Each structure stands twice: as C-alpha cells, then as structure tokens.
C-alpha cells in the first residue's frame, strides 16, 4: 500500500492506533532508562538522580565478570556468527539453488529437520562434544554451535535469494568469460547484497541476544557474554540490585537499538526476496 | 571461424531437447534457426556457447572439437532471449564486463566500450542502469556487450522479440550491417519467419528438436521440401486442398482432373497453393463463397469456402469481392506444390497442359 492510498484522516488514524499499541513498550523502556539513573525505586516511581547504578562501566562488580569484557565477548560472538553465517550460508545456498549433485534433496530436507529441533534437546550432546574437542568454555566453541544451529534456516532464506536471480544473468557472465566462482562473487553476491545485508543484521542481533548457549557452554567469568552477566545479576538470590540491573539492561539494549535504527530500512528487504531491482 | 555441428543431441534427463542436428555455419555467414516454441532453438544455441554439454555428437570451431571447452574458452558473444543485463551495473560497466575478465588497462577498456557504443548508437546511455532503459535500448546494450570483445562467433537468441514492429525492423537491419561489416559468423534464433527470412544467408528450420531443412530464404519459400515447412513459412499461410492421383491424372476436389506431365505414384496428396497464387478469374478452376474480407492496406486478404476447405487469397485493394458472393478462382498450377498426404514430403509434379 502506498502512502497515498490512505487519506490524511486515515493516516492520522493509523498513526494514532500505532501510538496507542506501542505505548506500553515505549513507557516500559522510558521507565527503564529513568530508573537506571535513580537512587531508589519505590513501587514504580524512581527517586533521586545518581550515576551509581552505572558503576559497572568503571569498575568490575564483586564476584561478577567485567561488563566491558562481557560486552566484548558478546560483540565478538555476534559479529563472528553474522559474518560466517552469511559467508558459509551464501555458498551453501548458491550450491543448493544452482547445482545438481547427489544427495541434494536429502540435504535440503535435512536442513529443515535440523532447524525444527529445539536446541535445548541437544545441549547435553553439544556439551559432551565440545568438551571432547577441547572447545568447552571457549568462545570459538559456542560460535561453532550457534552457527550449526542457525545456518539451516539461513541457508534456506539465502537459497530463496539466489532462486530469485534469473539463470540468464548467470549464464551471460559465464559467456562473458568468468569462471563459476567469479560469477558467484562478481554477479550473484552483488545482486542479492541487500538481502544478505539484512540477513547479516538479523544474524548479528540473534547472536547479541543469545543467552542459552553462552550460559551453558561458557561458565567462567572471563568468557561470559553480556546476556549471561545480566542473568547472573538479576538472578541473585541474596539481593538483586534493581538499579544496577536496569542500568546494565540499558547498556545491553543500546547497541542492538543502534544497529536496528541505523539499518532498519535495509531489514525490510529480507521479505522482498532480497534482490535489488 | 566456421562453426560445425555434427549429429549433436542434448537430453535433459528423459527429455530430448535436441537430436541429430548437423549444421555448418560458414565463416562470416549468418544462419537463422527458425521453428515453433519449444523446438530446441535456444538449447542449440546454448550448446554452441558451451553453456550445455552435448549428450551426443561433436561441435567444432574452426575445425577444432570444442565439446569439452567451457564458455570462457570458446569466447563467443551472445545476446540472450531476455537480454540478461546485469541490473547492478551501469550500461558502461555492463558492456565493459567481458573486458574486465582480464586486468586490461582502464583507458583501453573505456575506449573499446565507447567505440562499440557509438557503433550501435547508445553512447548517451552509458551512465544509466538497465532498469532505466526501454526494451529496445536494453537490447542494444546486450548487443554491445556481445560485440565488445570482438568475438569470432556471435549467437543471438530472439534478440528482437521484445521490440515493436518499427524498431524491430530497424534493429534487424543494423544487426545485419554490423555482422557483415565485422564478418562475424552468426547464429540467429527466431520464431518469426519474416525476420529469419529477411536477415539470414541461410535458414535452418527446426521441428521437435530436429533440424529438418537448411536452405536459402528464397528456396525455403519457393521450394518447401515438406508440408510442415510449407505451412510454417509464409504469411498468410499456404492453402491446402485434398488431391488424388489416378490414371496419370491429378484430381483436386471440385476441379476437373488434369493430366500429369510426368508419372506420379497413385495415391492421396495435398495440393499447396500460396494465397498470392490464387486469382479471381471469370473462368477459374475453383468455385468458392467469400465469407470474410480483411483489408490490409495495399492488399486484401479474402477468405472463401470451397467445399470443406477454407481458402485464403490475396487481391489488390478494391477488388470486386463482397462477403456472401460466389467467386471463381484460377490456380497458378506452376506455383503450386504437391505433398504426400502421409509423409508430408514434397513430390515434384507438372501438368501436361501447363508445363513448368
Ligand atoms: N534445462 C532443461 N531441462 C529440461 N528440459 C528442457 C530444459 N531446457 C529446455 N528443455 C526442453 O527442451 C525443449 C527445447 O527447449 P528450447 O528452450 O531450446 O526451445 P526454444 O526453441 O528455444 O523455444 P522458445 O521459442 O519458446 O524459446 C523444450 O521442450 C523444453 O521444455
Ligand atoms: Mg528459446
């Protein structure tokens, strides 16, 4: 629907409805931000102004991982996952979209089956395998696991992108004298770049938000990610410092919000097949 | 460089797309492949380009077998049925693309792109993107991209199919001029017979994956070797009348039997007559009733029923024919064709009282 399809009154109506619907979320995040700078919270009302809740920025909390180290781990984790998911996924997706080889159908079917398993059911097996490989409690290990679990869906999505590129364009490049791998690099990838970009951002956000895998597979403080640090702070039985938790929440959300705000216009393209017209 | 196909076949699984195609395209010659949709024209072109590998037979470029050579190694220029421009590149980069395979100098590339763009008349389009071009302009860009590497062999897959009639004619002439000028061995695919006949040195007619005839355009029109070709070539299409040969005489439905000059085996045949070889005449061979008159400018196309058969004939504009009137038609026997009703093969014949 184009913007013109709705009259000026209709547009205000739609905007109004959306504002009302999203208000609870906005209020919630606004409160979170406010609370992170407050001394105390009684009921729902924050009191006083302080930076003490943000002390994790300049000091390591007792018995906890350093927030910056955790953020670094989260960033490494998310970026590596995004990069490799796109790289490996794009190669696999191209092969599945364009080449015929023995076992192609089986491979396609099994990627979907893999994706339909809840990853929790695999945790014990993953734990044992990682330990045997010496990758337990190592970032690289969790990255591998995350890749393995998320790649199937990624391959399917990217296969859809490649399917949308006409054969002719690829054949033209072959006739123009390029080898298959160069055609992939010089023609196919640029053609689906918007889709790949959107997919990379989703992969990054998914990595940034990942909790279960790092929680189980990265027990030591040095390798903790932000999501695990968050959980550890808010899950304390003895006392939960709500001010601290809110501040850390804001710290944790900000990069995701920033990435989203900067890239949201590209994200929509993942649904339009990812091919640039 | 000449291109030779020897008994070339291509199968996709159980589907046979092309079978037993033998064809020689001489150096600098333009051969058109003509045939109905799905007859294997594009597949033949892809085989020559090296995009498909033949399942049988041999393909030779200048005497060298290229069956196993990749498209890069064959170095042909090709225009695809759908143009297949690179949407993410400008027109300039589209045309330069084949030159960028090797790391040629930028200035050199720019000069060659400009030269070929001037040749085809699209110099002012170079900074645009394919999406900002009309169909005809895209076609020219595709042609430039095929020509820029100065290929010895040019393959054109219905390059004019998306153009309007006027542009189609102009571009057709342009392709012919360029092809002659540069002396490129060319295979031109078309399902439009007028286009194929007008552009080609020779025309190959394909049917059901087979190449059933390769002839000059004039021969194809004047001496069709089979009923299929006679029917396929020529607009408006040829008329067919049931005929019998008995006792050395040719009997056509509703016409007095005529003695044959040379013996023809007795049996049933089809007599083929082109619309321009039927004339209105007071003492004609056939009587028919006019049921439709199509005015086509210079000529009128008259449809008339003669027994079960429906005949088409061309008359000058303003002829005295009215819908519903009965007319008498003279057959130009010398320009008529006789086809075996079973095999469809042309059978030479002549009338004793109307020698060829
Ligand atoms: N990749 C393929 N897999 C299976 N069958 C194919 C393939 N390509 C072509 N065919 C079949 O081979 C036959 C010839 O196809 P081709 O594209 O060469 O026809 P064409 O003469 O170019 O037709 P058109 O005028 O419609 O372009 C068709 O019956 C088609 O269905
Ligand atoms: Mg075709």
The helix or strand, by DSSP H or E, that contains position A24, with its residue range, turns out to be: helix A8-36
Mean pLDDT throughout B51-58?
95
Q: What is the pLDDT of residue A271?
A: 55
Strand ranges, E, within chain A: 40-42, 45-47
B76 touches chain A (CB under 8 A): yes
| Positive/negative CA dihedral, B166, B167, B168, B172 | positive
- Do A15 and A150 reside in the same domain of the chain? no
pLDDT in tens, B118-160: 888 889 999 999 999 988 889 889 999 998 988 999 999 988 8
Rounded CA-CA distance B302/B329 in Å is: 11
Chain A positions touching B87 (Cβ under 8 A) are: 169, 191, 276-277
Pairing between strand B77-79 and B153-157?
A: parallel
CB atoms within 10 A of CB A51: 11
In this complex, the residue of B46, B70, B131 whose CB is nearest that of residue A277 is B131
Are A169 and B86 within 8 A, CB to CB? Answer: yes
The helix or strand, by DSSP H or E, that contains position A12, with its residue range, turns out to be: helix A8-36
Of residues B329 and A112, more confidence is placed in B329
In-domain check, residue A31: yes
Q: CA triplet B174, A177, B110: central angle to 5 degrees?
A: 60
% pLDDT > 70, chain B: 99
- Do A46 and A69 reside in the same domain of the chain? no
| C-alpha distance across the termini of chain B, in Å | 41
CA distances from B285 to A266, B277, B306, B329 (A): 75, 12, 11, 6
B49 touches chain A (CB under 8 A): yes
Question: Band of the pLDDT at A39, cuts 50, 70, 90?
Answer: confident
B77 touches chain A (CB under 8 A): yes
Task: Compute the mean pLDDT over every residue in chain A, rounded to the nearest whole number.
Answer: 85
Chain B positions touching A276 (Cβ under 8 A) are: 87-88
Rounded CA-CA distance A97/A164 in Å is: 10
DSSP state of B105: -
- Do A250 and A129 reside in the same domain of the chain? yes
For the cut 60, the answer to whether the pLDDT of residue A5 exceeds it is no
- Do A46 and A167 reside in the same domain of the chain? no
- Do A26 and A124 reside in the same domain of the chain? no
Question: Band of the pLDDT at A2, cuts 50, 70, 90?
Answer: very low
For the cut 90, the answer to whether the pLDDT of residue B50 exceeds it is yes
pLDDT in tens, A77-111: 999 999 999 999 999 999 999 988 898 889 888 88
Q: What is the DSSP secondary-structure string of A26-68?
A: HHHHHHHHHHHT-SEEETTEEES--SGGGGGGTSPPTTS--HH
In-domain check, residue A267: yes
Q: What is the pLDDT of residue A6?
A: 55
Q: Which residue of B has its CA nearest to A189?
A: B88
Q: Which of A177, A181, A191 to mutate to test the interface with B (most CBs of B within 10 A)?
A: A177
% pLDDT > 90, chain A: 32
Rounded CA-CA distance A104/A83 in Å is: 25
Assign residue A115 the CATH number of its domain.
1.10.3720.10
pLDDT in tens, A168-198: 999 999 999 999 999 999 999 999 988 898 8
**Domain that includes residue A27, residue range:** 3-55
Q: What is the pLDDT of residue A277?
A: 40
Q: How many domains does chain A have?
A: 2
Chain B positions touching A178 (Cβ under 8 A) are: 72, 101
Residue A59: phi, psi to the nearest 5?
A: -145, 155
Q: Looking at ligand 1, which residue's alpha carbon is closest to its atom 16? A: B40
Rounded CA-CA distance A254/A261 in Å is: 10
Mean pLDDT throughout A151-159?
91
| Positive/negative CA dihedral, A216, A217, A219, A222 | negative
Assigned token pair, B66: 């290229």
- Do A10 and A115 reside in the same domain of the chain? no
Cβ(B179)–Cβ(B132) below 8 Å: no
Rounded CA-CA distance A133/A106 in Å is: 28
Q: Is B344 exposed, middle or buried (0-12, 13-18, 19+ CB in 10 A)?
A: middle
Rounded CA-CA distance B288/B254 in Å is: 10
Q: What is the pLDDT of residue A270?
A: 59
In-domain check, residue A96: yes
Chain B positions touching A191 (Cβ under 8 A) are: 86-88
Q: What is the pLDDT of residue B62?
A: 93
Mean pLDDT throughout A6-11?
69
- Do A223 and A95 reside in the same domain of the chain? yes
Residue B62: phi, psi to the nearest 5?
A: 55, 40
Q: Of A216-225, B87-96, B230-239, give the lowest mean pLDDT range.
A: A216-225
Q: What is the pLDDT of residue A81?
A: 95
Question: Band of the pLDDT at A1, cuts 50, 70, 90?
Answer: very low
Q: What is the pLDDT of residue A231?
A: 85
Cβ(B303)–Cβ(B292) below 8 Å: yes
Q: Which of residues 93-122 of B touch A (CB under 8 A)?
A: 97-98, 101
Q: What is the pLDDT of residue B223?
A: 93
For the cut 60, the answer to whether the pLDDT of residue B231 exceeds it is yes
Task: Compute the mean pLDDT over every residue in chain B, rounded to the nearest whole number.
Answer: 91
In-domain check, residue A277: no
Q: What is the pLDDT of residue B92?
A: 96
- Do A116 and A250 reside in the same domain of the chain? yes
How far is the alpha carbon of B46 from chain A, nearest alpha carbon, in Å? Answer: 9
Residue A219: name the closest of A231, A209, A228 by CA: A228
Chain B positions touching A190 (Cβ under 8 A) are: 88
Question: Band of the pLDDT at A53, cuts 50, 70, 90?
Answer: confident
Cβ(B221)–Cβ(B189) below 8 Å: no
Q: What is the pLDDT of residue B144?
A: 92
Strand-pair partners of B354: B351
Q: What is the pLDDT of residue B142?
A: 93
In-domain check, residue A191: yes
How far is the alpha carbon of A201 from chain B, nearest alpha carbon, in Å? Answer: 22
Question: Band of the pLDDT at A276, cuts 50, 70, 90?
Answer: very low
| In B127-269, alpha helices (H) | 135-147, 165-182, 193-199, 217-222, 227-232
In-domain check, residue A200: yes
Rounded CA-CA distance A248/A231 in Å is: 10
Can you tell me whether residue A196 is helix, strand or coil?
helix
- Do A140 and A28 reside in the same domain of the chain? no
- Do A142 and A82 reside in the same domain of the chain? yes
Q: What is the pLDDT of residue B292?
A: 93
pLDDT in tens, B278-322: 988 888 888 899 999 999 888 999 999 988 888 999 998 888 888
Distance B21 CA to ligand 1 centre (A): 15
Q: Which are the contacts of A212, defined by CB distance < 8 A and separation ≥ 6?
A: A119, A120, A123
- Do A184 and A251 reside in the same domain of the chain? yes
Q: What is the pLDDT of residue B312?
A: 94
In-domain check, residue A228: yes
Cβ(B22)–Cβ(B6) below 8 Å: yes
pLDDT in tens, B64-112: 999 999 998 998 999 998 889 999 999 999 999 999 988 778 888 999 9
In this complex, the residue of B50, B70, B101 whose CB is nearest that of residue A176 is B101
In-domain check, residue A104: yes
Pairing between strand B278-280 and B286-296?
A: unpaired
Q: Is A203 exposed, middle or buried (0-12, 13-18, 19+ CB in 10 A)?
A: buried
Of residues B171 and A250, more confidence is placed in A250
Q: Which of B47, B71, B129 to mutate to test the interface with A (most CBs of A within 10 A)?
A: B71
Q: What is the pLDDT of residue A13?
A: 87
CA distances from B42 to A222, B33, B190 (A): 62, 9, 9
pLDDT in tens, B242-277: 999 988 899 887 788 888 988 889 999 999 999 999
pTM: 0.81
Mean pLDDT throughout A235-244?
71
- Do A130 and A100 reside in the same domain of the chain? yes
For the cut 80, the answer to whether the pLDDT of residue A115 exceeds it is no
Residue B141: name the closest of B128, B119, B122 by CA: B122
Q: Which residue of A has its CA nearest to B143?
A: A172
CA distances from A6 to A3, A13, A16, B36 (A): 6, 10, 14, 48
Are B101 and A177 within 8 A, CB to CB? Answer: yes
Rounded CA-CA distance B310/B323 in Å is: 14
């Amino acid at each position: 629907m184009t913007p013109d399809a709705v009259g000026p009154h209709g547009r205000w109506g739609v905007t109004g409805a959306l504002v009302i619907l999203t208000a609870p979320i906005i209020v919630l995040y606004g409160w979170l931000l406010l609370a992170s700078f407050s001394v105390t919270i009684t009921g729902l009302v924050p009191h006083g102004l302080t930076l003490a809740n943000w002390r994790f920025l300049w000091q390591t909390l007792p018995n906890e991982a350093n927030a910056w180290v955790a953020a670094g781990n989260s960033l490494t984790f998310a970026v590596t996952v995004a990069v490799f998911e796109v790289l490996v996924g794009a190669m696999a997706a191209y092969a599945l979209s364009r080449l015929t080889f023995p076992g192609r159908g089986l491979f396609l079917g099994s990627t979907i089956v893999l994706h339909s398993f809840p990853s929790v059911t695999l945790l014990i097996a993953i734990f044992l395998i990682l330990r045997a490989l010496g990758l337990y409690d190592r970032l690289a290990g969790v990255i591998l696991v995350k890749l393995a679990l998320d790649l199937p869906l990624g391959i399917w999505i990217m296969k859809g992108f490649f399917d949308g590129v006409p054969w002719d364009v690829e054949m033209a490049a072959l006739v123009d004298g390029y080898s298959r791998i160069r055609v992939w690099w010089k023609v196919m990838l640029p053609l689906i770049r918007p889709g790949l970009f959107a997919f990379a951002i989703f992969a990054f956000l998914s990595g940034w938000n990942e909790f279960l895998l790092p929680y189980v597979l990265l027990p030591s403080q040095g390798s903790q990610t932000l999501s695990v640090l968050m959980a550890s702070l808010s899950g304390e039985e003895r006392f939960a410092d709500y001010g601290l938790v809110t501040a850390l929440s804001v710290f944790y959300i900000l990069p995701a919000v920033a990435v989203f705000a900067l890239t949201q216009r590209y994200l929509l393209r993942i649904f339009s097949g990812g091919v640039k017209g | 460089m000449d291109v030779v196909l020897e008994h070339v076949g291509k199968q996709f699984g159980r589907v046979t797309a092309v079978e037993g195609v033998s064809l020689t395209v001489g150096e600098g010659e333009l051969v058109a492949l003509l045939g109905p949709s799905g007859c294997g024209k594009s597949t033949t072109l892809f085989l020559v380009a090296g995009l498909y590998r033949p399942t049988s037979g041999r393909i030779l470029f200048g005497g060298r077998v290229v069956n196993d050579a990749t498209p890069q190694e064959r170095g042909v220029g090709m225009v695809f049925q759908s143009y297949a421009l690179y949407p993410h590149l400008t027109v300039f980069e589209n045309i330069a693309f084949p030159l960028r395979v090797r790391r040629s100098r930028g200035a050199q590339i720019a000069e060659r792109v400009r030269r070929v763009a001037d040749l085809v008349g699209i110099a002012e389009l170079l900074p645009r993107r394919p999406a900002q071009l009309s169909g005809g302009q895209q076609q020219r860009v595709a042609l430039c991209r095929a020509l820029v590497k100065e290929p010895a062999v040019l393959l054109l897959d219905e390059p004019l199919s998306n153009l309007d009639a006027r542009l189609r004619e102009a571009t057709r002439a342009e392709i012919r001029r360029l092809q002659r000028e540069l002396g490129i061995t060319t295979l031109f695919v078309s399902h439009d017979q007028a286009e194929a006949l007008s552009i080609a040195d020779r025309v190959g007619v394909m049917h059901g994956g087979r190449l059933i005839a390769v002839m000059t355009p004039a021969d194809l029109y004047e001496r069709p070797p089979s009923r299929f070709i006679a029917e396929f070539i020529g607009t408006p299409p040829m008329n067919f009348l049931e005929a019998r040969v008995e006792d050395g005489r040719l009997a056509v439905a509703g016409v007095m039997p005529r003695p044959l000059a040379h013996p023809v085996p007795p049996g049933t045949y089809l007599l083929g007559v082109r619309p321009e070889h039927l004339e209105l005449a007071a003492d004609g061979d056939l009587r028919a009733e006019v049921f439709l008159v199509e005015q086509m400018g210079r000529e009128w196309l008259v449809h008339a029923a003669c027994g079960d058969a429906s005949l088409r004939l061309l008359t000058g504009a303003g002829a005295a024919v009215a819908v519903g009137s009965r007319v008498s038609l003279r057959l130009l026997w010398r320009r008529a064709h006789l086809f075996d009703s079973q095999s469809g093969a042309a059978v030479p014949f002549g009338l004793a009282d109307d020698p060829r």
